[in-house]
Amino acid sequence: MKRHFPIALAVASIVLAGHSMAKELDMSKLTCKEVGAMSAAKAVGVAMWMNGYVHGKAGNTMVDGDKAEANATKVAAYCKKNHDATLASAIEAVSKM
């Protein structure tokens, strides 16, 4: 699980900071396609939530900015090829690479 945190953080670094989400989302069902269609502000909110969730599960308080950036590229590339994958499964798949 410790590898997931930098990946989730990396997703946040792909988009610009913005406002929080206006409606509730089932994060376990959120697809790459849905995240790609969101405004930058909403995508940041999703990425920050995923970051916090994975981070909390891992019990790791450290962040490696270089790894986060590299993992962001991997998650984005995975999502471009797998639009129907959930964001969680994309993060999981990339963490195993």
Q: What is the mean pLDDT of each run of 10 residues along the chain (97 residues)?
A: 59 46 75 86 74 77 71 80 91 82
For residue 85, the model assigns a pLDDT of 95
In sequence order, the β-bridge partners of residue 86 are 31
Question: 3-class SS at 31?
Answer: strand
pLDDT of residue 22: 52
3-class state of residue 96 by DSSP: coil
The pLDDT of residue 19 is: 40
pLDDT at 5: 60
pLDDT reported for residue 71: 72
